[in-house]
Chain A
Amino acid sequence: MRAQFVLSEIGVGLRRNLTMTIAVVVSVALSLALAGSSLLVRDQVNSMKGYWYDKVEVSIYFCTKADARNSPQCDKGSATDQQVQDIKDQLDKMTSVVQTSTYESSADAYKHWKEMNPDNPLIPVLGPDAMPQSWRVKLNDPTKYDVIQSAFAGKPGVKSVEDQRKILQNLFGLLNGLQTAAFVIMVLMLFVALLLIVNTVRVSAYSRRRETGIMRLVGASNFYVQMPFIAEAAFSALLGAAMASGLLIGGHFFVQNWLADRVQFIHFIGLGSVLAVIPLLIVVGMGMAGIAAFFTLRKYLKV
């Protein structure tokens, strides 16, 4: 194998076809960057799910005096201590689902509410009585919310069962949407990149038909004839993958330094996850380009 000879052929081929090479590099870079972002968004969603689902609770709110007027299930007025205790007893029996349950009294709820909304004009109007007492239930598996919902909704004294996960689900829905969008655009870009690679190889094969004709004539093996073209395509893809990696790392630092300051409730994935995606991008990019080139050559460089 004459490596030097093959390398010089690749260099000549890439320079001769510079504009097409640039087009291939850029489109491969964009499609791989989108593929990478799509993967990273998935990682982000998974890490956020892990982080937040640990913290979310299901709240069982009890009726207050004021609820008697506007909530039909609270027509008996404020929940009794016995009712609150009954719910507690029942929760303690559901050991397979419930991890812990803590009590929040009306007074505590009022205090928390005041801390969260210090400027609310209703503070002097409302007293602790307006805030419902509740059980805060932490689940072994946060997705098993339905079990609590069906067990306690409608019980005497219970006003409502609420799952904090619902708030998060909107956010996850948004992120999943972004991931899908990135994936769809990636597929389109990948298609464009493939067409460009096929065309580049075709033009390249045409502009070197003299050389390849002579190579076939003197009995160069298919590998020797096709190698420069495949290597050219793979090399362009490597440049594209490097560019995509640059974009992802740049994007990571943007998120870390700019977005993370502004959106503090999200725990962002680290540089490690970004770096872990890069080898995948390189392998996928080069493999795709090489295979596309190989199949193009089968059509345009017959034995």
Chain B
Amino acid sequence: MIRFDNVSKTYPKQNRPALDNVSLEIEKGEFVFLVGSSGSGKSTFLRLCLREERPSTGAVHVLGKDLGKLSNWKVPHMRRQLGTVFQDFRLLPNKTVAQNVAFALEVIGKPKSAIAKVVPEVLELVGLGGKEDRMPGELSGGEQQRVAIARAFVNRPMLLIADEPTGNLDPQNSVGIMKLLDRINRTGTTVLMATHDQAIVDQMRKRVIELDKGLLVRDQARGVYGYQH
């Protein structure tokens, strides 16, 4: 699903590489936590997976494609096959819940009839049935993140990338979001989640990948957030 072969990424005018010779593989259907302190290279890792950046050296394969060799005009098509969720939700404040999810389908040219069918389905799935016509501002943080997840999942992607999806949420809402991501993972979708939330990582007991100063320092099959130093 995701494979890094000796990937390094150095940004211009920076001495230390943001990612330093990282190699790993994430299989189909896995649930993987990506942990590490700020500046450890988590964001760069995710940006490489989304082809927002290209690696300086090495190769990044996502969904069977070598992203370094993927031409620019093919990038949108590749992004349709994965879903993304962010800490700040990234919803459109002037559109309703249903319109926010529908927007993602409209802009990739899906026909109206298909949109009308799948949007209520996915909102029901994330637990927002009955809130289709609310505005994002009227919802709690946890509910807004559910809208974002619904939008990411509406195309039933093979891979869901989440960048600190619980970063802005209280513990109770965080648990709800994690249960939802776990359920999505059980449908066969690979989930890659970058997080700082120690409690969640410790509780879920999933694979943990830890980065430190751009180096891959830990890859544990059923890990916890960090060793006690």
Show the binding face of A for B, using Cβ within 8 Å.
Answer: 1-2, 5, 210-211, 213-222, 224-225, 303
Q: Which of B74-82, B116-124, B201-209 contacts A (4 or more CB under 8 A)?
A: B74-82
Q: Shortest beta-carbon distance, B205 to chain A, in Å?
A: 30
Contact B108 A218 (CB under 8 A): yes
CA distance A183 to B78 in the complex (A): 49
Beyond contacts A5-B106, A214-B92, A219-B75: 20 other A-B pairs, Cβ-Cβ < 8 A, are A2-B106, A213-B90, A214-B90, A216-B76, A217-B79, A217-B84, A218-B79, A218-B80, A218-B151, A219-B76, A219-B79, A219-B81, A220-B107, A221-B73, A221-B108, A221-B109, A224-B107, A224-B109, A225-B107, A303-B76
Residues of A within 8 A of B103 (CB): 211, 214
Scoring A211, A216, A219 by chain B CB atoms within 10 A of each residue's CB, the highest score goes to A219
Closest chain A residue to B103, Cβ basis:
A214
Q: Shortest beta-carbon distance, A298 to chain B, in Å?
A: 11
Contact (A219, B109) CB under 8 Å given A210-B90, A213-B90, A303-B72: no
Residues of chain B from 63 to 112 with CB closer than 8 A to chain A in the complex: 72-73, 75-81, 84, 90, 92, 103-104, 106-109, 112
Q: List 29 A-B contacts (CB under 8 A).
A: A1-B109, A2-B106, A2-B109, A211-B92, A211-B103, A214-B90, A214-B107, A216-B76, A217-B79, A217-B84, A217-B90, A218-B80, A218-B107, A218-B151, A218-B155, A219-B76, A219-B78, A219-B79, A219-B80, A220-B108, A221-B77, A221-B108, A221-B109, A222-B73, A222-B76, A224-B108, A225-B107, A303-B75, A303-B76
Main secondary structure of the interface of B (DSSP, over half): helix
CA distance A210 to B217 in the complex (A): 35
Residues of B within 8 A of A220 (CB): 76, 107-108
Show the binding face of B for A, using Cβ within 8 Å.
Answer: 72-73, 75-81, 84, 90, 92, 103-104, 106-109, 112, 151, 155
Q: Which of B72, B75, B78, B107 contacts A215 (CB 8 A)?
A: B107
CA distance A303 to B79 in the complex (A): 11
Residues of B within 8 A of A2 (CB): 106, 109, 112
Residues of B within 8 A of A222 (CB): 72-73, 76
Residues of B within 8 A of A221 (CB): 73, 76-77, 108-109
Q: What 6 pairs across the A-B complex have the smallest Cβ distances?
A: A219-B79, A219-B80, A220-B107, A218-B104, A219-B76, A215-B107
Closest chain B residue to A218, Cβ basis:
B104
CA distance A224 to B79 in the complex (A): 14
Closest chain B residue to A224, Cβ basis:
B107
CA distance A167 to B42 in the complex (A): 82
Closest chain B residue to A213, Cβ basis:
B90
Q: Shortest beta-carbon distance, A222 to chain B, in Å?
A: 7
Q: Shortest beta-carbon distance, A5 to chain B, in Å?
A: 5
CA distance A215 to B76 in the complex (A): 9
CA distance A94 to B186 in the complex (A): 102
CA distance A228 to B151 in the complex (A): 22
Closest chain A residue to B79, Cβ basis:
A219
CA distance A218 to B107 in the complex (A): 8
Q: Shortest beta-carbon distance, A194 to chain B, in Å?
A: 26
CA distance A215 to B105 in the complex (A): 9
Residues of A within 8 A of B75 (CB): 219, 303
CA distance A159 to B109 in the complex (A): 84
